[in-house]
Amino acid sequence: AQSVTQLDSHVSVSEGTPVLLRCNYSSSYSPSLFWYVQHPNKGLQLLLKYTSAATLVKGINGFEAEFKKSETSFHLTKPSAHMSDAAEYFCVVSDLRGGADGLTFGKGTHLIIQP
């Protein structure tokens, strides 16, 4: 069985300051891990994915995430927040089966950007 825990339901940062969204996972296999972003009234957009290549993964819009097997973590970071980053972020783990039936979503983290 696999699971995903997003440690914060809400994160609030000031524009121009760093962003850290935390995600821990458990999986019986070597997982694939994803971060998706959902802006208000929009669908989910893929930010980045980890699939057992480099442990530091760079995504779109300046986001990156580091896979740490020893800590079973896949935290999402960005050096400097922008107002347009305000959105819901989902950490997702995929097991060996892959596809939608193998996906487990975290509950989401709502990112608030203060001006």
Partner 1 sequence: DTEVTQTPKHLVMGMTNKKSLKCEQHMGHRAMYWYKQKAKKPPELMFVYSYEKLSINESVPSRFSPECPNSSLLNLHLHALQPEDSALYLCASSQGTGGNTIYFGEGSWLTVV
Give whichever of 43 and 115 is closer to partner 1, judged by the CB atom: 43
Give whichever of 19 and 90 is closer to partner 1, judged by the CB atom: 90
Q: Are strands 64-68 and 56-58 parallel, antiparallel or unpaired?
A: antiparallel
Dig out the tokens for 8 from the structure: 């914060």
Give whichever of 15 and 104 is closer to partner 1, judged by the CB atom: 104
| Residue ranges in contact with partner 1 by CB under 8 A | 32, 34, 36, 41-46, 49, 51, 88, 90, 94, 96-103, 105-108, 110
Residues 6+ apart with CB under 8 A from 51: 32
